[in-house]
Structure 1
Amino acid sequence: MSVLFISGIDTDIGKTYATGMIAKALMQQGVNVITQKLVQTGVSINPSNGEMNIADDIITHRRLMDIPLQPCDINSTTCPYRYEKPASPHLSAKLANEVLDPNVVTSATKSLQSDYDVVLLEGAGGLLVPITEQLLTLDYIAEQGYPVILVTSGRLGSINHTLLSLEAIKSRDLEIHSVIYNHIHDNAAQTDEQIAASTIEFLQNYLAEHYPTAHWLALPVQEDDGCSNVDFILPQNFI
């Protein structure tokens, strides 16, 4: 299990924060780990050379891991495809007059596997986001056979979106490695405390009954500066 795919029930659910925190926790266990981004949209262009900057999510990962950008970040191995338009990858690529080749991503992942014990590959948006006109994110995960870590939260609608995502993963005979409840929305206006508490209870019970081998983890609240000083401890049998 050298590659784990991190997805979410929706966009803005905290996949990037979860990915960085998992990597940090694995590092604390002595695991040689690196993160990768499947594709990043909404990336700015460096005015000095006209080239795309390093993916924002990769930068966030390194900040959370408390390590500098790595050579594999500088040479774009950790995110080969970066687009300026903040949209679905298939549209962002089309507007950039490019075609995203999933084989390039796979080759980058394999290159990282040669140097690291674990690669955490973060997706873009949810499971059914199209990365090309013909290929959904879930199609790509299924082709590679990656175990999936699913990030959820307690905002209204999360139970439905979580169960739909679990069903989609199961339909492709993929392993549901973990479900991570991100407290990111706990203090948001759209989150009701009773709904959040009920969501946690329901999903924990559902997971125990239908996916007993999957991990249930709670992610601490992100600090305002985009980092977290709270320890996120993974079970020893996480990998």
Structure 2
Amino acid sequence: MPVLVITGTGTEVGKTVTTAAVAAAALAAGRSVAVLKAAQTGVAPGERGDADEVARLAGAVTAGELARFPEPLAPGTAARRAGREPVRPQDVAEAAAKLATEHDLVLVEGAGGLLVRFDEAGGTLADAARLLRAPVLVVASAGLGTLNTTELTARELRARELELLGVVIGSWPERADLASRCNVADLPDVAGAPLLGALPAGAAALAPAVFRTAAPGWLAPRLDGTWDAAAFTAREAPAPLVA
């Protein structure tokens, strides 16, 4: 798995902090890591972007982005409004492939969800994953509504014959509500793929050294971690309601 594409079921689901955790766990396992942000929006020149945040939390990664646009919009829209050339799936694939010749693992982080448009032709992160023949990791929210968006994302990946590696819950609350606890058992079913981790809410606020030490404990062995999905589900999923 030299390249892993990381997408979310939407915005603000914990995609960047999950990317950082995957990077930190891989580094702890002795692998060299590069992180590529396909298109950064809503960030001014000189301002720290998502790739910089991954590097801050994870440590010694090669961090880069292909383009940044000032308005917090879909990349294609942001590029058009800025009067600039968009990022295209081929650009993402070529940059990631080059990084893969120099690193053990390349993490390609998208913007928003899987089908957010990069350019006027409707190119998406899914198209970049197809060009790379890379598996996709889906970051989902914990609470009500996540089953629908996760299943839609999983169905689209299958329709495009892309490999869904698994699902990570991007922010697991300290006191989870009933919907979140039920979703622990339901997410793998609707995704048709394993649950590969759950990051605690507020993980990005941890000191980098603490984050790097803790990250493997949030992720399954498939992602160089020690997290046990069965144990987590047994602990968090509610008992059936008995009439």
Taking structure 2 as the reference length, the TM-score comes to 0.80
Matching of residues 88-237 of structure 1 within 5 Å: 88-102=74-88, 103-134=90-121, 135-184=123-172, 186=173, 193-206=177-190, 210-211=192-193, 214=194, 216-223=196-203, 225=205, 229=210, 231-233=214-216, 234-237=219-222
Matched residues in 1 for 2:202 and 2:137: separation? 19
**TM superposition score normalised by structure 1:** 0.82
How many pairs are equivalent?
217
Alignment CA distance shift 1:20-1:114 (3 Å): same
1:56 aligns with 2:57: no
Q: 1:223 Cα deviation (Å)?
A: 3.8
- Given that residues 147 and 190 in structure 2 are in contact (C-alpha distance below 8 angstroms), is that contact kept between their aligned partners in structure 1? no
Secondary structure of the corresponding residue to residue 7 of structure 1 = strand
Which 4+ stretches in 1 moved above 6 angstroms?
none
**Partner secondary structure for residue 6 of structure 2:** strand
Question: 2:4 matched to which residue of 1?
Answer: 4
Tell me the amino acid that sits aligned with residue 80 of structure 1.
Answer: L
Shift of 1:226: 5.9
Residues 38 and 87 in structure 2, CA contact (< 8 A), matched pair in contact too: no
Corresponding position: 1:81 with 2:67: yes
What is the root-mean-square deviation of aligned Cα atoms in Å?
2.3
Tell me if the contact between 2:13 and 2:171 (Cα under 8 Å) persists in the aligned partners.
Answer: no
Superposed displacement of residue 192, structure 1: 6.5
State the alpha-carbon separation in 2 of the partners of residues 236 and 156 from structure 1: 27
Given that residues 177 and 215 in structure 1 are in contact (C-alpha distance below 8 angstroms), is that contact kept between their aligned partners in structure 2? no
SS at match of 1:100: coil
Aligned partners of 2:196 and 2:222 also within 8 Å: no
Identity %: 28
Sort the Cα spacing of 1:157 and 1:237 in 2 relative to 1 into closer, same or farther, 3 A. Answer: closer
Q: 1:86 to 1:218 in 2, by over 3 A?
A: same
Return the offset for 1:137: 2.5
* Structure 2 SS opposite 1:183: strand
Structure with a larger share of its residues in helix: 2
Instruction: Give ranges in structure 1 of 5+ residues lacking alignment.
Output: 46-52
